[in-house]
Structure 1
Amino acid sequence: MQLAEFNVGHLRYPIDDPRVRRFVMALDMVNGIAERMPGFVWRLKSDSGNATDIQVYDDPKIVPNLSVWSDIGSLENFVWKTVHKTFYERREQWFEVLERQNFVMWPVEDGHEPTLAEAKDRLDHLNQYGDSDQAFGWSYVPQARLWLEARCA
């Protein structure tokens, strides 16, 4: 089994607004790092090379990130031990704080590329029922430890 992750962010400003330019300009770099990381399997992207122009919900300022990793350790290393962490720490400059969970993980069969509909269902499941084998966050995975240092308030 592999690990899928899905997260959404609600931009404070439209994607072409100068106030989110630093975030947008870093996408190719951060995505490139992800794709070169040990354990990276697949990520959702459009013809633009990223997923910010894929509309997931009615609000165009909600941007998705959907990827598959070989295991939790590989995802954890990318999120917390690369430049990704720097952008995560500055997320409030570019993204609204959401009232619901906006990040979910779940196991997938090797080679499976989850759809956005599947990812949204998993996120909804997490928000409705909490952590389970169907949909979970970092705290549900005992071997994941790096998130404890940078968790959301």
Structure 2
Amino acid sequence: MSGFHLAQVNIARLAAPLDSPQLADFVAHLPQINELAERSPGFVWRMVDEDGADATGLRPDRTDDMLLINCSLWESVESLHAYTYRTDHLRLLSRRREWFEAPDGPHQALWWVPAGHHPTVTEAMDRVAHLRHHGPTPHAFTFRKHFPAPSSTPDGRTPGTDRAGSPATAP
């Protein structure tokens, strides 16, 4: 395992208010799908709002109350891909057109973060914007065109070593 985790963000614009009958089935499945993610191999963390159950209370764009965000961390591209496309999550994903407007550009971005770092809403939205403007790069990429985890930390160290390159020891 590297000293990095894969971050993923999805943004979506609701087709109706979250408390509407149109979104009732989506909202009803949130606890189950979040639990499935948390039990999935390779899951590390997911963003939640003040209530702590999910991220539906977060608004990534203060001018758009219909925009939702989902952000999580995984051990690898493969573990996120397996959860997304090889579990019951796929059944709900196939219904996204019932609940969300069609995106007008990239709505998901992946990127590597140092282990222990939890992305903020602003950071996640910046990654989607980067992908929209520059296409897939190591800064923000997609399942289709992804990049390997960095081989060193932002300060140039190999994960698990101290500044001199020796194995890091716990304090």
- 2:138 paired residue number: 133
Corresponding position: 1:8 with 2:27:
no
Size of the aligned set, in residue pairs, is 143
Aligned CA-pair RMSD: 1.3
1:43 partner amino acid: R
Corresponding position: 1:54 with 2:54:
no
Instruction: Please say which structure displays the higher CA radius of gyration.
Output: 2
Corresponding position: 1:75 with 2:80:
yes
- 2:33 paired residue number: 30
What is the aligned-residue identity percentage? Answer: 36
Please report how far the alpha carbon of residue 53 of structure 1 lies from its aligned counterpart in structure 2 after TM superposition: 1.1
Please report how far the alpha carbon of residue 141 of structure 1 lies from its aligned counterpart in structure 2 after TM superposition: 2.6
Please report how far the alpha carbon of residue 125 of structure 1 lies from its aligned counterpart in structure 2 after TM superposition: 0.3
2:78 partner amino acid: G
Question: What TM-score do the two structures reach when normalised by structure 2?
Answer: 0.81
Write out the 4+ residue segments of structure 1 that deviate beyond 4 Å after TM superposition.
Answer: none
Tell me if structure 1 keeps the 8 A contact 2:138–2:147.
no
1:60 partner amino acid: D
CA distance in 2, matches of 1:30, 1:48: 15
- 2:122 paired residue number: 117
CA distance in 1, matches of 2:88, 2:13: 21
1:39-93 CA-partner distances (Å, limit 9, x unpaired): 1000001215000111111211111100000111110111001111001111101
- 1:42 paired residue number: 45
